[in-house]
Amino acid sequence: MNSFTYHRATAVEDAVRDQASHEGSAYIGGGTNLIDLMKESVERPTHLVNVAKLPLAAIESQPDGGLRLGAMATNADTAWNEDVKSRYPLLNQAILAGASPQLRNAATNGGNLMQRTRCLYFYDLATPCNKREPGTGCSAVGGFNRIHAILGASEHCIATHPSDMCVALAALAPTVRVSGPNGERSIAFDDFHRLPENQPEKDNTLAPGELIISLDLPEKGFEKNFSYLKLRDRNSYAFALISVAVGLELEGGTIKDARLALGGVAHKPWRDQKAEAMLKGQPATEDTFRRVAAQVVAEAKGQGSNDFKIALAQRAIVRALKQAADGSQKASDVFQNSNP
C-alpha cells in the first residue's frame, strides 16, 4: 500500500493553502474515480486534501438568469434539482445516463470534470502509456482500440474522455469558476479540457493547485428542443461508444440557434461549432441533419477496431437532431444500445 497523509479542508482557502504546501498532493471529493486509480497504483498522491465538506454544494439562480452549480453538489442532487430538470433538461438526461445511482449519489460536479480516461492501457501498469508515463508510447495505437478516439487524437494518445455530464455541459457552454494560489478565475467550458497533442498527461487547463468551485450555466437551456443520446454496448453501467448532446432553438420549422456536442469520440467533450453554424438558418429536416452529420465526421480517423464509430457517429447525430427538433426526448431515450 502506498502511504499518504490526509487533511479535511474546512474552507476553500484552507484547501488551496494545504494543497500548495504538500508536493504530490491531490484534492478528493466523492472519490469515485481517484480511489480506483489509487487502488490500481495508476495515481499515487502523497497527500490528500478532502474537499467534500466545503460549502460548495448549493445550486442557485443567478442575477443574469443563469444557474450556478456548486462543485461539491452530487451528480444525483444536480440531476434532480427542480431548476435543472425544468430549465436544463439536457443536463438532467446526460447525468442520468451515466454510471449507476450509487455512484451518482457520491460523485460531485467538480469531480465529474476531473475524471480520467477509461483506456485499458492507462489502467494497465504493464503496458506503455503516454498519459500515465509521458514518453513511453501509446499502446492503444495499433492495439485494442475499439473504444478510442476518432477526432482530435494525436500519435501520442487516442484515449477518450468518459463523462456523460460533460458532453451536455459542452453543449450548454457554462463557465468553470476555480480558485487557486493566485486567487479566483473563470474558464470557458470549451477551454477547460484539452486535446492530447504532445502532452496527453495533461487533461485540462487548470494551473497547479487550482480547485473547481462552481459551474455557471447561462440562461439559455434549450428546454423545449433537446436530446441526449447515448449508444453503448449494454443498457446499464457502461461508457458511451458515441453520445450526442443537442440543443435547438426553433422558429417555425427553421433553426434559429443550435448546439451540438459529442462524447466517446475525443480526448475532451467534442463541441462542433462549425456544425452548429451550418444548422443556423436551415430547415429542421433530415436532409439538413445528414449534411451536418457528414461535416462533423469529415476529418474523423479510425484506428482499426474503432472504424465503425465514424458511421455510428453520423447516424447518432441525425437521430439526436431529429429527436430534438421533434421535441420527443424521453427519459428512456438515453438508454440505447450501440445499434442506432
The pLDDT value recorded for residue 328 is 83
Distance CA 61, CA 249 (A): 22
Distance CA 127, CA 121 (A): 6
The pLDDT value recorded for residue 338 is 47
The pLDDT value recorded for residue 161 is 98
Beta pairing, strands 254-263 & 225-232: unpaired
pLDDT digits (tens, 9 = 90+) for 246-260: 999 999 999 999 999
All three cell numbers of 179? 480558485
Distance CA 339, CA 261 (A): 20
- DSSP bridge partners of 132: none
The pLDDT value recorded for residue 334 is 54
The pLDDT value recorded for residue 331 is 52
Radius of gyration of the chain (CA): 20
Amino acid present at 300? A
All three cell numbers of 252? 417555425
Nearest 5°: CA angle at 45, between 40 and 51? 110
DSSP labels, 231-261: EESSSSS---SEEEEEEEEEETTEEEEEEEE
> Is the separation of the CB atoms in 16 and 10 below 8 Å?
no
Enter the pTM of the model.
Answer: 0.96
Per run of 10 residues, the mean pLDDT along the chain (length 340 residues) is 93 98 97 96 97 98 98 98 98 97 97 98 98 98 98 98 98 98 98 98 98 98 98 93 98 97 98 98 98 98 98 98 90 49
pLDDT digits (tens, 9 = 90+) for 50-105: 999 999 999 999 999 999 999 999 999 999 999 999 999 999 999 999 999 999 99
Distance CA 302, CA 299 (A): 10
Residue with cell 447518432: 316
The pLDDT value recorded for residue 189 is 98
Distance CA 79, CA 263 (A): 19
The pLDDT value recorded for residue 236 is 84
